[in-house]
Amino acid sequence: MELNESTEDVKSREDLIKFINHLRRDLQTNKAEWENITLEDYLEAMEAWVNDMEGFYLNTDQPVPKQPSWKTFADILYASSMYE
């Protein structure tokens, strides 16, 4: 399962913990595929994505979250690995 697909399965705190573990292992094994590998770059991308996230949800025919869910956190963490 791809990381972006596994965000769909994040519905609880335990699911988010598993997702973060999967994300960390992916960085260790696929670092060349990540756009943002330093903490500074990752946090900058996180800030930018959260600022623009409404567009992501609208463009993917998903409802824009009014309150963050566990899945929203997973989306943010995943997007921060590659958002420019």
Residue range 19-76, pLDDT digits in tens: 999 999 999 999 999 999 999 999 999 999 999 999 999 999 999 999 999 999 999 9
In total, how many domains does the chain have?
Answer: 1
Above 60 in pLDDT, residue 13? yes
User: pTM (2 decimals)?
Assistant: 0.87
- Bigger pLDDT: 4 vs 70: 70
Instruction: Report the pLDDT value the prediction gives residue 6, as an integer from 0 to 100.
Output: 85
- 1 pLDDT higher than 60: no
CB 7 within 8 A of CB 78: yes
Domain containing residue 23: 3-80
Return d(Cα 71, Cα 11) in angstroms, integer: 6
